[in-house]
Amino acid sequence: IGATVIDSLDTLYLMELKEEFQEAKAWVEENFHLNVSGEASLFEVNIRYIGGLLSAFYLTGEEVFRIKAIRLGEKLLPAFNTPTGIPKGVVSFKSGSWGWATAGSSSILAEFGSLHLEFLHLTELSGNQVFAEKVRNIRKVLRKIEKPFGLYPNFLSPVSGNWVQHHVSVGGLGDSFYEYLIKSWLMSGKTDMEAKNMYYEALEAIETYLLNVSPGGLTYIAEWRGGILDHKMGHLACFSGGMIALGAEDAKEEKRVHYRELAAQITKTCHESYARSDTKLGPEAFWFNSGREAVATQLSESYYILRPEVVESYMYLWRQTHNPIYREWGWEVVLVSLGEILSDRSRFLRDPRCVQ
């Protein structure tokens, strides 16, 4: 419940839900204690708790949010106590130790690669350089290590500093690493050239080795396993349309129009994954094989869990192009989702077990 409260602070404030915001702020002040025991995900604590607190602080200037964010960041620092400085995925708040320390374990690209936005701000707000040093070391390791065809595999050993396996995905396990690179460039006032160069180099490798166009004309980003492509996209990968649109402005001049068109094509493909499903809600993953395109082919992937990536890309494309189709597509998702919720409620109320 704590993650939901803190993750929602900025939304409550922006929507002018003043009473609810004050209630959430009071919960942070009175009930969000950092002297807890147990283990927690470094990644989730960073993006939801620290990110939520930082956002609330920048919107309101309320000192409680800044202080809590810094103290929580300090609690995460033991996760970086590895031979390479690449953090482990889990940190123990009770002992201050880092988890999963065996030589065969691995850290996930999307997790350790999605720390620098928040950690750089922790340094800025605290004056403590340790936060910035930790994430700059991550980039140093990633720049130095040999990358297959310029691609970043999803699993890295924090002990040896080597890739554990050659699985590359712009969806789950890899996604926000790429997103944080281009956003770091923008957040820095376009001074972080390292982030900019790493982003465009990674995008070029993705386009060269993962980008495909189906026989039906749908552009998609496949997954790569040691040189063999899985012709599928996960719902999580659908953020990439918005990301590529966001990065188009600062690309080389001859590539800007190309990237805007590529962003539009990927976003169209992700819309098709919604349009071609029975419910008109997109599946967790969709494939391009055996004459079937942009549809789930396995029961284990035929579900929808309120992921925001497709709608996020609609928003970015709308902001960039003002093409009304993106607002229409977004509204379709709202209507369909609302219809499913009301339908579920109706079925629930008709269930004889609920009459009591």
pLDDT, tens only, 213-270: 999 999 999 999 999 999 999 999 999 999 999 999 999 999 999 999 999 999 999 9
Report pLDDT for 25: 98
Q: How many folded domains does the chain comprise?
A: 1
Per-residue pLDDT, averaged over 284-300, amounts to 95
Outline where the chain has alpha helix (H). Answer: 2-7, 9-14, 18-31, 42-44, 51-60, 63-76, 109-112, 116-126, 130-144, 175-187, 193-209, 240-248, 253-275, 309-321, 324-350
- Mean predicted confidence (pLDDT) in 103-128: 93
Give the angle 304-307-309 at the CA atoms, nearest 5°.
130
pLDDT tens-digit readout, 134-191: 999 999 999 999 999 999 999 999 999 999 989 999 999 999 999 999 999 999 999 9
* Residue found by looking up tokens 């998702």 in the block: 333
Per residue in 93-112, pLDDT (tens digit) is: 876 554 443 445 899 999 99
Rounded CA-CA distance 333/310 in Å is: 10
As beta bridge partners, residue 90 has 41
Please report whether residue 270 resides in a domain.
Answer: yes
Lowest mean pLDDT among 222-226, 292-296, 327-331, 335-339: 335-339
Active site residues: 44, 175, 284, 309
What's the one-letter identity of residue 67?
I
Say if 58 falls within a structural domain: no
- Percentage with pLDDT > 70 across the chain: 92
Please report whether residue 138 resides in a domain. no
When pLDDT is cut at 50, 70 and 90, the band that residue 1 belongs to is low
Mapped onto helix, strand or coil, the DSSP state of residue 107 is strand
Quote the mean pLDDT of the chain. 93
Q: What is the pLDDT of residue 355?
A: 43
Q: Is residue 291 exposed (0-12), middle (13-18) or buried (19+ Cβ within 10 Å)?
A: exposed
Task: Kindly state whether residue 129 falls inside one of the protein's structural domains.
Answer: no
* Residue 262 CA, distance from chain mean position: 20
- The answer to the question of residue 79 being in a domain is no
**47 is a domain residue:** no
Query: Is residue 142 in a domain?
Result: no
Q: Higher confidence at residue 285 or residue 344?
A: 285
Instruction: Give the mean pLDDT of 20-48.
Output: 93
Average pLDDT over residues 101-124: 88
**Predicted local confidence at residue 96, as pLDDT:** 55
The yes-or-no verdict on residue 350 having pLDDT over 70 is no
Does the residue 311 lie in any domain?
yes
Does 347 have pLDDT greater than 70? no
HEC string for 128-184:
CCHHHHHHHHHHHHHHHCCCHHHCCCCEECCCCCCEEECEECCCCCCHHHHHHHHHH
Residues sharing a CB contact under 8 Å with residue 127, sequence separation 6 or more, in sequence order:
none
CA distance 148 to 151: 5
* pLDDT value at 354 more than 50: no
Range of the domain at 281: 209-355
pLDDT of residue 136: 96
Predicted local confidence at residue 102, as pLDDT: 44
- Percent above pLDDT 90 for the chain: 87
Strand, coil or helix: 219: strand
Name the band, by pLDDT with cuts 50, 70 and 90, for residue 338.
Answer: confident
Residue 344: pLDDT band with limits 50, 70, 90: low
Q: What is the pLDDT of residue 290?
A: 85
